[in-house]
Amino acid sequence: MVRTRLTWIALIAMVWASMMSFGGVAAETVMLYPNIFNDAPASLDRAREFLVHGGPHDYFPPLGASVILSSVAATLLIWRDRRLRWWIAGATAVFVVCEFLFSAVFFWPRNEIMFVDPVGTHSPEYLRQVAAEFVAGHWVRVAGGAVTAVLAFVALLKFVRSTAPAPVSAPATASVSVAESSEATR
């Protein structure tokens, strides 16, 4: 009973966090990216000025950590159940690879170039190239977030179905079909 309750909590936390992460990436794609990457390097300068007191770097790292922690907890709690094991392990692996490792290898160096290095360090052509690479690579993150959220949600649904109490059947009573009752009234 305690294990089932802990599994519920871990799965709901994982689904919630992965959907929040995917939703954040999707929102960022349609609201921020057109403004940030539209006209590099001028748009990158405007983004530096706008994203001073908060930005994606304040939202995604703690949320990503919550996805990873809840994914690991759910993986450990569900590991004995072969029907659910690979849904959760798959969601965890996709998130770690597409959101964390890919970000560390691909995005973080480009963020340094576009937003941390002093203005004027890089040529406008180079900044346009880096911005285009960033936007193209971003679709890996979008796809990874979507796959993670779907796999986690499917695992939660399967868990709900496997732990739901059996339906209580109605007591056997004399029931009359519609056809029988219409014949009886004639």
**Confidence band (pLDDT; 50, 70, 90) for 76?**
very high
Closest CA to 144 of 16, 55, 18, 59: 18
The 10s digit of each residue's pLDDT in 1-52 is: 788 899 999 999 999 999 999 999 999 999 988 888 888 888 888 888 888 8
pLDDT given for residue 39 in this prediction: 87
pLDDT given for residue 164 in this prediction: 80
The 10s digit of each residue's pLDDT in 80-131 is: 988 899 999 999 999 999 999 999 999 999 999 998 899 889 999 999 999 9
Report the alpha-carbon distance of residue 174 to residue 85 in Å, rounded.
45
User: What is the pTM for the complete model shown?
Assistant: 0.81
Q: Which range of residues forms the domain containing residue 44?
A: 2-184
pLDDT at 173 over 80: no
Give the DSSP H or E segment for 96: none
**Confidence band (pLDDT; 50, 70, 90) for 57?**
confident
Q: How many domains does the chain have?
A: 1
Q: DSSP 3-state assignment of 170?
A: coil
